[in-house]
Amino acid sequence: MSMSPYLLLAFLLGATNGALFHLWQGKNVRDLAIYFLTGVIGFGLGQMLANLMGINIFLIGPLHVVTATIVSWATLFIVKWLKI
């Protein structure tokens, strides 16, 4: 089974956002797992939002990098604020 290159890139960028947020704000392994998943989910939500709104700021193929990254970081801050 092969994965589409842009789906792999989306996963890697979302995971990188979560890992960077953990380096900045995380305290333990539990936080790493939460931020990792939140970064990936937030990146996916950002991708869907950009597709629905037709935002085409910076694309890599069909991937809305800027919008998805902004939404990913917003979800990470929300999770941190809610102390999940």
pLDDT digits (tens, 9 = 90+) for 63-75: 999 999 999 999 9
Number of independent structural domains in the chain: 1
**The model scores a pTM over 0.75:** yes
pLDDT tens profile 22-36? 999 988 999 999 999
Residue 54 belongs to domain spanning: 5-82
Burial class of residue 55 (count of CB atoms within 10 Å of its CB; 0-12, 13-18, 19+): middle
